[in-house]
């Protein structure tokens, strides 16, 4: 039984190291993702403002084009004819700005999605490792009661990480909407 317990203890120690690595990986991924989430929020705000400005320029452009139609006064036609090139340029420039912000926002959200997938995969591995550690702990507890405290500590630590991960993922999900 001592030889069996020794092997089980070695396996349990290995699984604990794997759990620590997984927890560290999750924490590092969360930390790396946080600046991207903030950047996505800022880009979303800038994009909203840029779209509003584009809509304004388009309205002005449409108004100038309407003033150049048959039936408009000569003064309205001349004023619109004078403003229209600047409005066309403003619309084109603003459209490029919106397109650039959309592209950047999409890229940032793609990176956030990659981190979310990496975190979810690491969490899945962590759950498997915890289950394995639980099994090994049960095997070992038949011969030694001392290991149960360490296993509970590892499981509590893993649960804390899991709750924190769920909170962060829900926050990111809300902001991407």
**∠ CA(117), CA(121), CA(125), 5° rounding?**
170
- Which pLDDT belongs to residue 108? 96
Q: How confident is the prediction for the chain on average, in pLDDT?
A: 87
Q: Tell me: pLDDT of 68 over 90.
A: no
pLDDT in tens, 25-45: 999 999 999 999 999 999 999
Instruction: Check: CB of residue 23 under 8 Å from CB of residue 126.
Output: yes
pLDDT in tens, 124-175: 999 999 999 988 888 877 765 544 555 677 788 878 888 888 787 777 766 6
Following DSSP, what letter does each residue of 97-128 receive, concatenated? HHHHHHHHHHHHHHHHHHHHHHHHHHHHHHHH
- Which pLDDT belongs to residue 159? 83
- Which pLDDT belongs to residue 148? 55
What is this structure's pTM? 0.66
171 to each of 32, 37, 106, 158, 166, how far by Cα in Å?
A: 15, 9, 18, 20, 9
């Amino acid at each position: 039984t001592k030889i069996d317990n020794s092997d089980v203890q070695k396996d349990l120690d290995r699984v604990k190291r794997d759990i620590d690595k997984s927890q560290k990986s999750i924490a590092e991924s969360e930390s790396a993702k946080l600046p991207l989430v903030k950047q996505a929020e800022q880009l979303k705000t800038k994009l909203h403002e840029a779209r509003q400005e584009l809509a304004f320029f388009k309205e002005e452009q449409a108004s100038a084009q309407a003033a150049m139609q048959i039936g408009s006064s000569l003064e309205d036609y001349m004023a619109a004819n004078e403003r229209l090139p600047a409005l066309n340029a403003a619309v084109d420039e603003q459209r490029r700005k919106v397109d650039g912000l959309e592209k950047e926002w999409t890229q940032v959200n793609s990176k956030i999605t990659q981190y979310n997938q990496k975190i979810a995969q690491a969490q899945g591995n962590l759950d498997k490792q915890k289950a394995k550690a639980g099994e090994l702990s049960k095997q070992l507890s038949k011969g030694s009661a001392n290991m149960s405290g360490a296993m509970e500590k590892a499981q509590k630590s893993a649960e804390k990480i899991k709750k924190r991960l769920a909170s962060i993922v829900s926050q990111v999900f809300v902001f991407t909407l």
